[in-house]
Amino acid sequence: MYKPLTKSCEIKFLTFKDHDPGEVNKAYWRSCAMMMGCVVERAFKDEYVVSLVRAPEVPVIAGAFCYDVVLDQRLDEWVPTKENLRSLTKDAHVLIYKDLPFETLEVDAKVALEIFQHNKYKIDLIEEKASQNPERIVTLHRLGDFIDVTEGPLIPRTSVCFQFAVSAAHGLPGPGSSLVRRFQGLSLPVHLRAHVTIWNKLLERSQKLVTEDQNKPTEESSST
């Protein structure tokens, strides 16, 4: 827990093995999506422009968490290979190995806008969040030197994750002429690790395009 308590309250600790782990699962999915956004943004170095759009809240039953990304237009024809996905997965495991904390930052909208001044999608999201309170405070989260606009709660540290894979990237209709890629991934926490046979079945399922308004992944898939 890395968010200071500013007033008297009661704390209830939730675990993956609770009778109803729904909120814990959401926090885990949300955290994994942020980790995936981090590795995707860094993967293309300074050679290509990578704009993180948002991490849609998809139901855990959909089979994959996701992050929508707009890549440099020079990559419009790029189709990620298995080796590309393995490379992203390896980078995610580096984050897990580093045991980084997920830190909550509550900042003025002006500060958030300065941080994300080169990302028009995050600017729109910050303005939306700031308009919801008179103080114009925006909640950000930090993972090492990576900062994102994402809702909490999140898991405490990256080491809670055990099995983790970036499994697919689908092309979606984008704003204007931009092509949005929905990167998808799968992860299981250290408390609920799966046998390799089961993991591979879950991984195959996670490659199908997931959407926010469905309880199941769609049968159709784009480029993976």
Residue 213 burial class via C-beta count within 10 angstroms: exposed 0-12, middle 13-18, buried 19 and up = exposed
Per-residue pLDDT of the chain (224 residues; tens, 9 = 90+): 556 656 666 666 556 555 555 678 899 999 999 999 999 999 987 889 999 999 999 988 899 999 999 999 999 899 999 999 999 999 999 999 999 999 999 999 999 999 999 999 999 999 999 999 999 999 999 999 999 999 889 999 999 999 999 999 999 876 666 789 999 999 999 988 899 999 999 999 999 999 887 554 444 444 44
CA-based Rg of the chain, rounded to a whole angstrom? Answer: 17
Whole-model pTM: value is 0.87
Residue among 54, 43, 155, 22 nearest 96 (CA): 155
Structure letter (DSSP) for residue 101: B
Give the chain's domains with CATH numbers. 22-101+159-205 (3.30.980)
Q: What is the pLDDT of residue 26?
A: 92
Paired strand residues for 148: 141
> What is the C-alpha separation between 36 and 39, in angstroms, rounded?
5
Please tell me whether the peptide bond between 153 and the residue prior to it is cis, using omega within 30 degrees of 0: yes
